[in-house]
C-alpha cells in the first residue's frame, strides 16, 4: 500500500506565509569543513600518486650499491616477491584513491595497510629509502586526517565481502595444497606438504610463482586457476568493503506515522502527499522537520523542500547533507520552491531550474471569452457526444477499480513502460481508495479516462496525481476531464489547482540563463523526441495557469551525472535505460 492518509479536501485554513531570513548565516563565512575537505582531497590525490610511484618503482632496477648490500642479507626470491608486492600495493592505492575522495572509512583502513606494506616492500626490494619515506609521510598524513574519513560502507556488503574472502582463502588453501602435493608430476618442482602450502599462499596473495614451471597443459591450467581465484576474490572483497550504504527497508511503521503527522501539519506543496509513498525513507531533523528521500546506489534524492517550520529548514538541509556524507551518498533535492534557495547555497549546493509548475486560480477560471474559445468548443463537442464526468468519493467499489485498472493497463501498454514512482503515484487500490477520483465515461458507460485528486495540507489547493486514459479516444476528452476537475474544485471552495510540473520547458531559453540550464535545454530538445514535454506544456497552457519555477538542488557540476542518474532511477526504476531506448 502507498502509505499515509488523506487530509480534509481543500482545508479552509490560510496558507503559511512565513519565510526564512534571506541573509547567509555567519558560520558560512568561516566554515572549517572547507579546510578539512581540502585535506581529504590532497590525501586522495597523494594516494593516487603514491600508487603510480609504487608501480613505477617496482619495474625500476635497484641502485647497485644498495643491491650489493641487500644480496648479503635477503634472498633473491624474497626481493623479487617484494617487487610484486610493491606493484600490487600500488595498484590497490590507485583503486582506493577515489574512495578516499569520498571519505570512506574502509578505504582509509585499507590504504593504511597498503602503505605499511609499501614502506617495507620498498626497503626489501632495493633499499629505496625515498619511496619508503614518502609512503611513511602519507601514512602519517592519513593518520592525522583519520576523523575526516567517516563515510560508512554497507555493513551487510562488508560482511559478505569478508566472508567471501575467508571462504575463498580456506578453499584455496585446501585446493592448492592438495593439488600441488598430489600433482607435482605436472611441475618441474616436487612439493612437500609445507612447500605446497607456501606455494599456494604465495600465489594467492602475491601473484608470484618462484620456481614454478608447469610442464603439462593441466599444470598450467591448475596454476592459472589459483591466480583466477585470488584475483576475483580480492577484487570482490575490495568492492564490497567500499560499497555505499544500501537502503533495504525504506521506513519503519513508527517513522511513517511521524512523517504523516509532520506532513499534515507543515505540508504546503503538491508534492507533500508523495512524501508518504512507500518508496520513501525519512530523515528527521532534531525538532519538527522531515526530509523524504529515496536512495539508489551512491545517490540520495530528496523530494522537495524540508517539511517543517521555516526557521528549521537551514539546519535540516545541513543535517541531511552531513547524514548523506556519512552514508557515502551524494545528496540532491528535486522540485524545490524558490523559498529556501539561499539556505541551499549556504550549505554548499548549486541550484538549477528544471521547469515550472502551473497553478490555476479557480476564482477566475471560466470557459467564457475569446481566449477560451478552443477549450469551450472541445468541451461542448465532447458533451454532445454523450460523455459525462463523475467524481467518486471513497469508499470506491471493487467493480469501479477493476474497470479503471483496464484503462490504466491500456495506458501503460501504449507507453511501453511501467509505473513511475517517487513524485508520482502508481495504480494501487489502497491508494486510490483513500481519496476522491474523477472518471470520464463514454456514451456506452465505459470509463475512458480518470484521475485521482489530492489535496494540499496547508494550502487551499487541489492537485491531481494518477492520470490515465485509453489509447485512440476522441479529441477533447482530456480537456473535458480537466475542465470538470477545475469546476468541481472551485465548487468545493478551493482557491487554486496545481496542474503539476512542466519539466524542462522554458529552461535555458533566455540569453542570460546559466550555462547549465542552456545545456539542459539542449538535452531536452533531443529527449523531446521520446517524451512530449512541449506538447504537455501546451495542453496545460489552455487553462491559463500562473507558472512558478521549480529547482534541482545538487552539490556541484561534477555531481550532475550521478544526480541525474539517481533522478531517473528513483522515478523509473532500474530499467530506466531500456525505457528510454524504447521511447
The fold adopted by the segment(s) 356-552 is Aminopeptidase (3.40.630)
pTM for this entry: 0.70
Handedness of CA 431, 432, 434, 435 (dihedral sign): positive
Q: Each residue's pLDDT tens digit in the chain (583 positions)?
A: 444 444 444 444 433 333 333 334 433 333 455 677 788 889 999 999 998 888 787 656 655 555 555 555 554 444 445 566 777 788 788 878 888 887 887 788 888 988 988 888 877 766 777 888 899 999 999 998 888 887 776 666 667 667 766 776 677 777 777 777 776 667 666 777 777 777 776 665 554 555 566 667 776 777 777 667 766 776 776 666 666 666 666 788 899 999 999 999 998 888 888 999 988 999 998 778 999 999 988 899 999 999 999 999 999 999 999 999 888 889 999 999 999 999 999 999 999 888 889 999 999 898 998 889 999 999 999 999 999 999 999 989 999 999 999 999 888 887 765 677 888 888 888 889 888 999 999 999 999 999 999 988 888 899 998 899 998 888 999 999 999 999 999 999 999 999 988 876 656 566 666 666 666 655 555 444 445 567 788 889 999 999 999 999 999 888 888 898 888 888 875 444 444 444 4
Report how far apart, in Å, the C-alpha atoms of 249 and of each of 246, 282, 349 are.
9, 11, 28
The fold adopted by the segment(s) 155-241 is Helix Hairpins (1.10.287)
Alpha carbons within 13 A on the beta-carbon side of 362: 23
Interatomic CA distance for residues 216 and 339, integer angstroms: 74
Strand partners, 554: 350
Interatomic CA distance for residues 196 and 119, integer angstroms: 29
Phi/psi at 367 (nearest 5 deg)? -95, 0
**Cβ(378)–Cβ(565) below 8 Å:** no
**Cβ(208)–Cβ(88) below 8 Å:** no
DSSP state of 15: P
Locate cell 539542449: which residue? 522
**Does 155-241 match 356-552 in CATH topology?**
no
Report how far apart, in Å, the C-alpha atoms of 161 and of each of 86, 150, 288 are.
24, 20, 39
* CATH number belonging to the domain at 247-349, selected among 1.10.3470, 3.30.70, 1.10.10, 3.40.630: 3.40.630
**Cβ(420)–Cβ(426) below 8 Å:** yes
Report how far apart, in Å, the C-alpha atoms of 576 and of each of 138, 251, 304, 313 are.
42, 24, 22, 32
Domain range list for the chain: 33-148, 155-241, 247-349, 356-552
Locate cell 544500501: which residue? 246
Phi/psi at 556 (nearest 5 deg)? 160, 170
Helix (H/G/I), strand (E/B), else coil: 18: coil
**Cβ(46)–Cβ(141) below 8 Å:** yes
Beta strands 496-503 and 461-469, pairing class: parallel
**Cβ(273)–Cβ(422) below 8 Å:** no
**Cβ(13)–Cβ(463) below 8 Å:** no
Amino acid at each position: 500500500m502507498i502509505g499515509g492518509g488523506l487530509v480534509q479536501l481543500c482545508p479552509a485554513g490560510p496558507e503559511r506565509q512565513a519565510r526564512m531570513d534571506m541573509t547567509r548565516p555567519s558560520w558560512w563565512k568561516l566554515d572549517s569543513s572547507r579546510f578539512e575537505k581540502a585535506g581529504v582531497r590532497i590525501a586522495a590525490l597523494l594516494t593516487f600518486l603514491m600508487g603510480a610511484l609504487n608501480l613505477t618503482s617496482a619495474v625500476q632496477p635497484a641502485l647497485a650499491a644498495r643491491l650489493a648490500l641487500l644480496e648479503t642479507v635477503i634472498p633473491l626470491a624474497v626481493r623479487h616477491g617484494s617487487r610484486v608486492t610493491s606493484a600490487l600495493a600500488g595498484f590497490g592505492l590507485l583503486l582506493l584513491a577515489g574512495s578516499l575522495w569520498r571519505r570512506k572509512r574502509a578505504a582509509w583502513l585499507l590504504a593504511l595497510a597498503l602503505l605499511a606494506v609499501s614502506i617495507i616492500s620498498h626497503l626489501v626490494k632495493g633499499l629505496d629509502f625515498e619511496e619508503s619515506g614518502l609512503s611513511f609521510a602519507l601514512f602519517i598524513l592519513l593518520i592525522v586526517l583519520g576523523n575526516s574519513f567517516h563515510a560508512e560502507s554497507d555493513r551487510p556488503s562488508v560482511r559478505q565481502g569478508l566472508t567471501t574472502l575467508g571462504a575463498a582463502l580456506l578453499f584455496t588453501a585446501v585446493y592448492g595444497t592438495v593439488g600441488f602435493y598430489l600433482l607435482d608430476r605436472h611441475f618441474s618442482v616436487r612439493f612437500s606438504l609445507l612447500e605446497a602450502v607456501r606455494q599456494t599462499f604465495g600465489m594467492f596473495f602475491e601473484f608470484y610463482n618462484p620456481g614454478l614451471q608447469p610442464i603439462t597443459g593441466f599444470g598450467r591450467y591448475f596454476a592459472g586457476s589459483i591466480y583466477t581465484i585470488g584475483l576475483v576474490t580480492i577484487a570482490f572483497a575490495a568492492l564490497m568493503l567500499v560499497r555505499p550504504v544500501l537502503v533495504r527497508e525504506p521506513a519503519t511503521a513508527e517513522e511513517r506515522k511521524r512523517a504523516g503527522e509532520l506532513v499534515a501539519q507543515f505540508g504546503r506543496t503538491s508534492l507533500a502527499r508523495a512524501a508518504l509513498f512507500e518508496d520513501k525513507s525519512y530523515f528527521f531533523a532534531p525538532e519538527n522537520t522531515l526530509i523524504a528521500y529515496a536512495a539508489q546506489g551512491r545517490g540520495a534524492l530528496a523530494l522537495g523542500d524540508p517539511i517543517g517550520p521555516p526557521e528549521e529548514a537551514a539546519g535540516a538541509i545541513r543535517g541531511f547533507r552531513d547524514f548523506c556524507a556519512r552514508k557515502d551518498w551524494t545528496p540532491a533535492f528535486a522540485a524545490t520552491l524558490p523559498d529556501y534557495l539561499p539556505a541551499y547555497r549556504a550549505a554548499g549546493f548549486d541550484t538549477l531550474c528544471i521547469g515550472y509548475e502551473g497553478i490555476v486560480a479557480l476564482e477566475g477560471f471560466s470557459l467564457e471569452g475569446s481566449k477560451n474559445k478552443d477549450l469551450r468548443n472541445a468541451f461542448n463537442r465532447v458533451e454532445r457526444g454523450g460523455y459525462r464526468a463523475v467524481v467518486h468519493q471513497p469508499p470506491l467499489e471493487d467493480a469501479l477499480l477493476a474497470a479503471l485498472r483496464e484503462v490504466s493497463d491500456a495506458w501503460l501498454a501504449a507507453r511501453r513502460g511501467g509505473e513511475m514512482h517517487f513524485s508520482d503515484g502508481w495504480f494501487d487500490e489502497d491508494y486510490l481508495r483513500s481519496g476522491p477520483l474523477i472518471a470520464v465515461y463514454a456514451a456506452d458507460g465505459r470509463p475512458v479516462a480518470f484521475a485521482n485528486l489530492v489535496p494540499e495540507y496547508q494550502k487551499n489547493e487541489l492537485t491531481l496525481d494518477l492520470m490515465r486514459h485509453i489509447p485512440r479516444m476522441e479529441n477533447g476528452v482530456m480537456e473535458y476531464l480537466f475542465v470538470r476537475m477545475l469546476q468541481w474544485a472551485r465548487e468545493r471552495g478551493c482557491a487554486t489547482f496545481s496542474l503539476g510540473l512542466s519539466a524542462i520547458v522554458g529552461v535555458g531559453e533566455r540569453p542570460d540563463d546559466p550555462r547549465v540550464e542552456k545545456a539542459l535545454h539542449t538535452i531536452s530538445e533531443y529527449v523531446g523526441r521520446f517524451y512530449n514535454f512541449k506538447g504537455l506544456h501546451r495542453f496545460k497552457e489552455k487553462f491559463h495557469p500562473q507558472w512558478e519555477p521549480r529547482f534541482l538542488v545538487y552539490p556541484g557540476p561534477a555531481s550532475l551525472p550521478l544526480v541525474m542518474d539517481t533522478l531517473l532511477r528513483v522515478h523509473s526504476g532500474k530499467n530506466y535505460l531500456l525505457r528510454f531506448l524504447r521511447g
